[in-house]
Amino acid sequence: MRLVMIGAPASGKGTQAHKLTRHFNLDHISTGEMLRAEEAKRSELGLVVESYLKRGQLVPDGLVVKLVGERLALNHLAQGFILDGFPRTLNQALALDQALTALGQAIDAALLIEVPDSAVLERITGRRADPETGRIYHLKYSPPPPEILSRLEQRDDDTAELMQARLNTYHERIAPVVAHYREGGLLVAVDGTSSPDAVFAQVLRLLNSRRSPG
């Protein structure tokens, strides 16, 4: 099984990708993790990535396509994979089609995790990190103990203004991608506002219905 995960930041697509990875024994390919790894290494690519993320912008297609193309060429991906965070533009989707065709493969389904912008903003702007332990809390969904509240920090890119900019960019870029997979009969839309387990049950039901004969 070869899947693409589509969803706004904080839509829960990463959580669902991990669940599907374990359930179907697939390889989880997260472009976000790959880019953050480069950023952490302070590599030439990492510095470029950092400059775009700080402005709330997407990393250019060419850089992301290069990373994903190299990963797809690995032999152990033959049993299936989940692409998390890619493609985010139509050019990326077309490049992915070409790369998979060259490998004799194709996408089986594109999962779209749908969450309203208002819910995304609430999920993001409520996050706080404990600089002493590294633990992440949420002021509403996973509140910290009152005694440590004063020392918690909000990440620079978790502000409402920057998050809204990221969402605007996401919607502008992702619409043609969604249309591409819809026209190809590959799009599977899922309501991402429920609990992670409820969303996962919905994902499994929809995927199984596609695999069932008739």
Q: Is 96 buried (19+), middle (13-18) or exposed (0-12) by CB count in 10 A?
A: buried
Question: How many whole angstroms separate alpha carbon 11 and alpha carbon 116?
Answer: 9
CA angle 57, 61, 64 (to 5 degrees): 95
Q: Which long-range contacts link 54-59 to residues 24+ away (Cβ below 8 Å)?
A: 54/156, 54/157, 56/157, 56/162, 56/163, 56/165, 56/166, 56/169, 57/169, 58/88, 58/89, 58/169, 58/173, 59/35
SS3 content of the chain, % helix, strand, coil (to 5): 55, 15, 30
Query: What amino acid positions are annotated as catalytic residues?
Result: 13, 88, 127, 155, 166
